[in-house]
Structure formats: structure tokens, C-alpha cells
Amino acid sequence: MIVVTGGAGFIGCQLVAGLNKLGREDILVVDDLSDGKKFENLVINNIADYMDKTDFRRLIEKRDPLCDEFEFVFHQGACSTTTEWDGQYMMDNNYSYSKELLHFCLERSIPFVYASSAAVYGVNTKFTEEPDNEFPVNVYGYSKLLFDNYVRRMRADIKSQVVGLRYFNVYGAGEAHKKGMASVVFHFNNQIKETGELKLFEGSHGYADGEQLRDFISVDDIVNVNLWMMDNPKATGVFNVGTGMANSFNDIAKLVVEWHGKGNIKYIPFPDALKGSYQSFTEASLTNLRAIDCKYEFTSLKEGVNSYLDDLNSVKPLT
């Protein structure tokens, strides 16, 4: 059985869909459905069972006999809200939970692939997986970096596959429940339909209006790199997962306007609350990912955004 924590979330549900395409339905999804709307990400996939995160933590703590069925763990479950400042909650949910699951997997030599984040780099211009480049500016990024470093310290004692994947700016189907944390593609699409106007930040951090740069990556690419890791058990370590090419928010906005054939761009003042803690530039270094022979070719921005807009604006059949 394959375990996917966060399997009702954005990336987790798409990973389950990817496993389904490979013919795998023996999947245990672990999540927290306090937000019941996330069920929509469950119903579209085929799984063997669902378990609440709290019950799952108890299960692995007790080493319940059900655990004997686990053969692979994709740990996608986390609070990914960069504006969440409840440090106690964040550290328990993102750090302590991850440690518990890591030790369980190491004890049983179960391959363990987990989600890290480009948030570990903070306000930076260098994005190689090295401690000198890692300065998170929010507690979310810190929780991810702390676990990456925990894995690094244990490296000499790790005998089974353990992989951390640092996701850059992910967009794609299944993210609607993320609300304010959903991608700019999602928000721009809604804005153009509701008001005909896209809102971008004015210039900041030395960048002109809307010219702040991010490494935007399709969720399909994220899924495929996760599945590549499952097929390559000798791969281990912490790796960036981005396209390796930064694009501006203006680039995204123009693609959305072009797809809809209408729309205006409006620049709004940069929020005071984000000053000093905003990543105005990210661009993944793929050197280490390529060094393990992962030659996967990432989707271009235009192809990925257009495909997502097709999905967002398609007429869904009644079921």
C-alpha cells in the first residue's frame, strides 16, 4: 500500500491521480478534512482508504499491524500558509509530524519522499541547496528548513531512500481550497471573469510594476518528479523542483489576458505587511536534480498556464 499524506490537498490529490494512471489504487490517503470542501479532491480519485491525520499519527506511534502493509510514503501533508504565525501549530504540524513519520519509515526501510519548499531560501538571489543560501523569512519556511536539516544530520545513518523536494511556485488543478494561498494563475482567472481587471503589485525590491520574478511550475511536473523518485530508489537527498527559469507576474497576466481575449492590468500598492518578507525573485538551480540523472523536461510557462486555464474554464458535466 502507498501512503499519501495531504492526499486531499492540492499536490497530494494530483499525486494520487498520477498513481491511479499507473494502475495503483492501493492508496491510503491521510489528511485533515476540517475544511470539508477538500472532499472534492478525494472524490475524483480512486483510493483504498482514508484516515484522519491525528488517527494516522497514533497508528504509526503504536506500530499498528496495518503499518505492515505500507510500502512507500509520499509525505505531502503540511500547513503551507506562509502568513500563518502560530509557531507552535506550525512546528508540530510540519516538523514534529515529519520526524515521527521519517523515523517510522527508517525503522522499516520504507522509501520516504517528502515535500519541502523554496520558502527555505527567503529573500535571496541564490537557489542552490546549500546552507549559505537558506534564510527563511516566515515560520512556514523555517519549519521546512528545520526538517531538511534534520534529515541532513542523519544522512550517515540513513540506509533507505529519503528524498526532500523543494517546490517552487506551483500552479494547477486542485488548488481552489487554498483560497489566498492559491496560485496567481487561479486568482487572475477569477479576477478577469469577475471584474475584467487583473491586480498586480506595483514595483518593489528594485523591480518595476509587476516585474517581480518567480519560478512558476505546473503541478503535473511536480507529480512526475515525485513518481520519478519512486522509480529510482537509489536517489536520495534534498532537491529543488522548479523549471529553472524565472518569469514575471506580468508574463502570467499577459497569458491570462491572451487566453480570455480581454482584460486590463491594474497595479496596486505593495502591502506594508509583506515588506521585508517577500520573495521578489526565485529561480531553482537544477544542478543537483540533474546530477542524479533526473532528465525530466519541465512544461513551458505558456503551455502550462494555457492548459490550466482550459481546465479552469471548462464546463464540468453534472454528476
In single-letter form, the type of residue at position 170 comes to V
Mean pLDDT of 8-30: 97
Segment (H or E) for 100: helix 97-108
At 316 the pLDDT is 58
- Confidence check: pLDDT of 319 > 50: no
- Confidence check: pLDDT of 315 > 90: no
Average per-residue pLDDT for the chain? 94
Mean pLDDT of 272-289: 92
Residues annotated catalytic, as ranges: 140, 178
Residues linked to residue 117 through DSSP beta bridges, in sequence order: 167
Distance CA(12)–CA(24), nearest Å, equals 15
At 274 the pLDDT is 85
Distance CA(283)–CA(213), nearest Å, equals 8
Chain center to CA of 169: 8
Domains of the chain as residue ranges with CATH: 2-172+216-244+284-299 (3.40.50.720)
Distance CA(242)–CA(216), nearest Å, equals 7
Segment (H or E) for 31: strand 27-31
Residue 50 pLDDT grade (very low, low, confident, very high; cuts 50, 70, 90): very high
- The pLDDT tens digits for 80-114 are 777 777 889 989 999 999 999 999 999 999 999 99
At 246 the pLDDT is 98
Q: Please work out, in degrees rounded to the nearest 5, the angle formed at the alpha carbon of residue 101 by the alpha carbons of 285 and 141.
A: 40
Half-sphere exposure in the Cβ direction for 151 (13 Å, CA) = 30
